């Protein structure tokens, strides 16, 4: 399932992501994603993203559209988005890891 | 073979335990029933591991968590309680959801570990056998690292480095101070839990005094270390928010910390005798007693582990995570303990149920509040490199950052607290 970018993503972020796309930093995943690997990797994200509310600075990423998810993570990886916390997380994610995470989170539910 | 499949193949091979350089142990035979994992300590390390093993194994592993306390009060964010930004209740969590998640919680102290028989003896005498044991007892304080200090003395000069009554005592003493009073903090030597913690705490002391309108009160930090975590940004913040109030002394300045005297209330250094109204002594630390008694520690007082699995280098059936472990570049933090627990949980499951194993990766961020809406952070990603956990992609707050960014950091830290608490306790 692919979803349009959520409204909460800010205009500046969109510009940055747009720029990253133009630079060819963002493309579509090249292989079919390994959801089990994504689930494993998602444990790292749960420390911060597990209890987000609508007004949280750490956004809820459960159910995020895959295309958007991939774009944003690649933008953090390229340091085109500024938050050093997410940059440090994203820098060591390869395309395979990002696709796996995107596929997992697309249908994952926030833990209750 | 196409590029893609080769890549997948490489990944799978890299993920097997042999390739990770771990000894392969025979899985317990199914005839004995479900494999048993026992976890000592229900803090960020132990509770996270318990929940992840139970959740991800879907009941295929029998998980028992041994923890004497019915509720867990976090040390993390306890400084915000000191500063009046949180109430005590908001730091306290129970084990209801851990239990609902399929973990057997035994509220008892583990008295000893019999590594040959692979069983834990409880303080009440009960025995709990295991196939794999995860040890996460946190730290114990070495009271005698500061001459004159003791567990008894802590009732007068609190450490508040373990959660609970100590933190409440510290807050009571802080709130009773009058303008012109002095606070002395004796900071701990490395390694200790929460490297920025003492300096965040001093910031919170200063915030409380400033809010009460104190003009003459002073805070002295006597540090056995020549430098400390996030020093540049802490110092900048102190000058900005609390000019003249906080004095940090390294060993060159104080000449050596001679000790405390609870009877006279004095703190002595090589150069000066202080008689402060409040003394906060944070002594040196080592791994929790159970880990030391079981022979899991080395001469450092902490437990050596394999960087790719958090497995004890002393016993292949035992894992150590959190403050008790020697985790290379990782600081002793709740975030680190939670991160290490997930690696250990993954390796334990794969050893016991042949579930897929993946290369270890760790992360940590520590936020510290200097003043209202002025929060700084430090963090990194970590991976095993040549048998040691090494940091990469590290970052730290800089001087002269905008107020907006610092406020954003604060909000982030609150969201993190909620996130990690849910991850640890459900
Ligand atoms: C003032 C302060 C501020 C901090 N701020 C932060 C922060 O902002 N961010 C951060 O990430 N970290 C922070 N920390 C550090 C964090 O609290 C610790 O690193 C973390 O609690 C370590 O988790 P652990 O599971 O290893 O040990 P612990 O949290 O100490 O848990 C160990 C548990 O084991 C139990 N136990 C011990 N022995 C036995 C036994 N024999 N049998 C059964 N159970 C046993 C104990 O009862 C305890 O519940 C802070 C610490 C302090 C003191």
* Residue B322: strand pairing partners: none
Q: What is the least distance, in Å, from the CA of B424 to any CA of chain A?
A: 8
Helix H or strand E segment including B319: strand B318-320
Q: Is B44 in the pocket of ligand 1 (CB under 6 A)?
A: yes
Enter the tokens of residue B211. Answer: 């809010």
Is pLDDT above 50 for A20? Answer: no
Residue A76 C-beta-side C-alpha neighbours within 13 Å: 20
Predicted complex ipTM: 0.89
First to last CA, chain A: 23
Residue environment code for A65-89, b if the CB has 16+ CB neighbours within 10 A, otherwise e: bbbbbbbbbbbbbbebbebbbbbbb
Q: From its phi and psi, is residue B286 left (phi > 0), alpha (psi between -120 and 50) or beta?
A: beta
Q: Helix and strand tally (H, E) in chain B?
A: 11, 24
Q: Which of B76, B138, B132, B128 is nearest to B303 (CA)?
A: B138
Number of Cβ within 10 Å of residue B323's Cβ equals: 32
Q: What is the least distance, in Å, from the CA of A43 to any CA of chain B?
A: 7
This prediction has a pTM of 0.91
Q: Digits of tens for pLDDT over chain B (426 positions)? A: 333 333 333 333 334 444 444 444 445 544 468 999 999 999 999 999 999 999 999 999 999 999 999 999 999 999 999 999 999 999 999 999 999 999 999 999 999 999 999 999 999 999 999 999 999 999 999 999 999 999 999 999 999 999 899 999 999 999 999 999 999 999 999 999 999 999 999 999 999 999 999 999 999 999 999 999 999 999 999 999 999 999 999 999 999 999 999 999 999 999 999 999 999 999 999 999 999 999 999 999 999 999 999 999 999 999 999 999 999 999 999 999 999 999 999 999 999 999 999 999 999 999 999 999 999 999 999 999 999 999 999 999 999 999 999 999 999 999 999 999 999 999
Q: From its phi and psi, is residue B319 left (phi > 0), alpha (psi between -120 and 50) or beta?
A: beta
Model pLDDT, residue A27: 44
* Residue B389: strand pairing partners: B384
For chain A, give the longest Cα–Cα distance.
40
Q: Which of B352, B345, B383, B357 is nearest to B47 (CA)?
A: B345
Q: What is the least distance, in Å, from the CA of A18 to any CA of chain B?
A: 23
Q: Helix and strand tally (H, E) in chain A?
A: 5, 0
Model pLDDT, residue B307: 98
Enter the tokens of residue A74. Answer: 């690649």
Q: Which residues contact B19 (CB under 8 A, 6 or more apart)?
A: B13
Query: Chain-centre distance of CA B163, in angstroms?
Result: 11
> For residue B346, how far is its CA from the centre of ligand 1 (angstroms)?
21
- Residue of B333, B364, B369 to mutate, ligand 1, most atoms within 8 A of C-beta: B333
- Return the residue in A78, A84, A90 with the most chain B beta carbons within 10 A, the one to mutate for interface testing: A84
pLDDT confidence band for A11 (50 / 70 / 90):
very low
Of B342, B380, B412, Cβ closest to residue A58 = B412
Q: Which of B270, B340, B272 is nearest to B309 (CA)?
A: B340
- Residue of B323, B332, B362 to mutate, ligand 1, most atoms within 8 A of C-beta: B323
Is pLDDT above 90 for A26? Answer: no
B324/B332 Cα distance (integer angstroms):
8
Q: What is the least distance, in Å, from the CA of A46 to any CA of chain B?
A: 6
Q: Is B138 in the pocket of ligand 1 (CB under 6 A)?
A: yes
- Give how far Cα A88 sits from Cα of A81, B202, B391, Å: 11, 28, 11
**CA torsion, points B235, B382, A102, A11, in degrees to nearest 10?**
20
> For residue B323, how far is its CA from the centre of ligand 1 (angstroms)?
7
pLDDT confidence band for A112 (50 / 70 / 90):
confident
- Identify which has the larger pLDDT, A11 or B378: B378
Model pLDDT, residue A21: 43
Helix H or strand E segment including B286: strand B284-287
Number of Cβ within 10 Å of residue B212's Cβ equals: 13
Q: Which of B341, B252, B317 is nearest to B50 (CA)?
A: B341
pLDDT confidence band for A32 (50 / 70 / 90):
confident
B155/B51 Cα distance (integer angstroms):
35
pLDDT confidence band for A25 (50 / 70 / 90):
very low
* Structural contact between residues B189 and B286, judged by C-beta atoms closer than 8 angstroms: no
Q: Which of A86, A105, A98, A102 is nearest to A25 (CA)?
A: A98
* Structural contact between residues B94 and B105, judged by C-beta atoms closer than 8 angstroms: no
Helix H or strand E segment including B287: strand B284-287
Check CB contact of B373 with chain A, cutoff 8 Å: no
Model pLDDT, residue A31: 55
Contact residues, chain A to chain B, C-beta under 8 Å: 30-31, 34, 36-37, 40-41, 43-44, 46-52, 56-58, 84-85, 87-89, 91-92, 96, 111
Model pLDDT, residue A54: 83
């Amino acid at each position: 399932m692919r979803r349009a970018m959520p409204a909460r993503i800010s205009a500046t972020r969109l510009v940055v992501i747009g720029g990253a796309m133009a630079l060819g930093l963002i493309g579509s995943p090249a292989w079919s994603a390994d959801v089990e690997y994504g689930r494993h990797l998602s444990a790292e994200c749960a420390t911060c993203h597990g209890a987000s509310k609508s007004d949280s600075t750490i956004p809820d990423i459960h159910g995020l559209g895959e295309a958007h998810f991939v774009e944003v993570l690649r933008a953090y990886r390229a340091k085109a988005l500024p938050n050093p916390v997410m940059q440090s997380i994203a820098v060591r994610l390869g395309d395979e890891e990002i696709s796996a995470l995107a596929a997992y989170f697309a249908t994952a539910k926030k833990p209750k | 073979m196409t590029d893609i499949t080769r890549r997948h193949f490489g990944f799978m091979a890299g993920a097997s335990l042999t390739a990770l350089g771990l000894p392969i142990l025979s899985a317990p035979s199914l005839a004995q029933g479900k494999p048993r994992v026992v976890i000592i300590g229900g803090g960020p390390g132990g509770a996270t591991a318990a929940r992840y093993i139970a959740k991800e194994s879907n009941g295929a592993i029998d998980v028992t968590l041994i923890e004497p306390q019915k509720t867990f009060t976090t040390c993390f964010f306890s400084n915000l309680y000191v500063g009046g930004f949180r109430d005590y209740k908001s730091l306290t969590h129970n084990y209801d959801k851990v239990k609902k998640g399929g973990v057997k919680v035994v509220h008892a102290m583990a008295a000893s570990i019999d590594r040959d028989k692979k069983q834990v003896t409880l303080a009440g005498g009960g025995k709990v056998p295991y196939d794999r044991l995860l040890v996460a007892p946190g730290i114990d304080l070495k009271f005698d690292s500061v001459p004159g200090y003791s567990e008894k003395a802590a009732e007068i000069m609190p450490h508040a480095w373990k959660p609970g009554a100590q933190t409440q005592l510290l807050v009571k003493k802080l709130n009773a101070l009058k303008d012109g009073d002095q606070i002395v903090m004796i900071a701990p030597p490395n390694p200790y839990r929460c490297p920025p913690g003492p300096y965040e705490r001093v910031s919170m002391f200063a915030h409380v005094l400033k809010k009460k309108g104190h003009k003459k009160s002073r805070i002295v930090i006597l540090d056995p270390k020549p430098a400390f975590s996030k020093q540049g940004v802490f110092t900048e913040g102190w000058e900005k928010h609390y000019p003249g109030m906080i004095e940090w002394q390294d060993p060159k300045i104080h000449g050596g910390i001679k000790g405390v005297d609870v009877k006279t209330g004095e703190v002595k250094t090589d150069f000066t005798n202080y008689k402060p109204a409040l003394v906060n002594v944070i002594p040196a630390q080592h791994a929790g007693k159970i880990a030391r008694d079981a022979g899991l520690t080395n001469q450092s007082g902490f437990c050596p582990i394999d960087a790719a699995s958090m497995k004890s280098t002393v016993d292949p059936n035992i894992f150590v995570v959190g403050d008790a472990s020697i985790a290379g570049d990782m600081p002793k933090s709740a975030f680190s303990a939670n991160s290490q627990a997930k690696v250990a949980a993954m390796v334990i499951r794969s050893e016991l149920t042949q579930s897929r194993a993946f290369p270890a990766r760790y992360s940590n961020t520590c936020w510290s509040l200097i003043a209202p809406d002025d929060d700084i952070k430090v963090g990194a990603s970590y991976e095993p490199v040549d048998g040691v956990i090494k940091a990469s992609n590290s970052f730290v707050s800089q001087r002269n950052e905008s107020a907006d960014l610092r406020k954003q950091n604060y909000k982030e830290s609150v969201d993190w607290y909620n996130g990690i608490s849910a991850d640890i306790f459900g």
